[in-house]
Structure 1
Amino acid sequence: MNASPYWLQPAPYRNLAALTAFAGSLLLWRYWPQQDMAAFAAVLLLFFGALVAMAAVLLALRLRQSGTTVQCLLLMLWQIGLPLVLMSRLYHQAV
């Protein structure tokens, strides 16, 4: 157990990033074909989650927690990659 305070641990940020990844992925999966405000809000939610995951990566690196670092990097990859993949699908459908 680390002696640092709870808010300087990467676990709460990892959990928040996972929650935003889940909620944003569900919203984006549901609304990306319509390209409406809900899809835009989902993309913003996913990018916010990626920022939270980046903070968790920095804290995990500082505390030398390699497992948490990898988990947060995968969350960050998911939250940035999913909107890009779906936008490229929409682009190829339009062309």
Structure 2
Amino acid sequence: MISLTAKTHVNHIRQQGYAVIKQAVDPAVVRNLLEFANTFQYTEDEQANLLRNQQRLNSFDRTIYKRQDALRLFIRGTPGEVLKELLNEKFYEAIPPD
């Protein structure tokens, strides 16, 4: 069951195309991830692999997606509820509703 807060955000996304989830992530965590993103460098092996497979967007952009703790921020709490509501549909049974 989706919380009222998450449902409000989902409705706003469906109506306006976006929603701002205030205080979804602690400001200290945001600062830490921003510092990581601003200093991130691919290793030489990763760069060679990206070039070889041509799986790059915008050259070698910095990314927080290499950090598992960052990914967890988006699948827990209100952000996670919003994503589950938007991504799960009754015709797609590969993702359990809970």
Structure with larger RCO (C-alpha < 8 A, sep 6+): 2
Structure with the largest fraction of helix: 1
Please confirm whether the aligned pair reaches a TM-score higher than 0.5, indicating the same fold. no
Question: What is the TM-score normalised by the length of structure 2?
Answer: 0.27
Question: Rg: which structure is higher?
Answer: 2
Question: What is the TM-score normalised by the length of structure 1?
Answer: 0.27
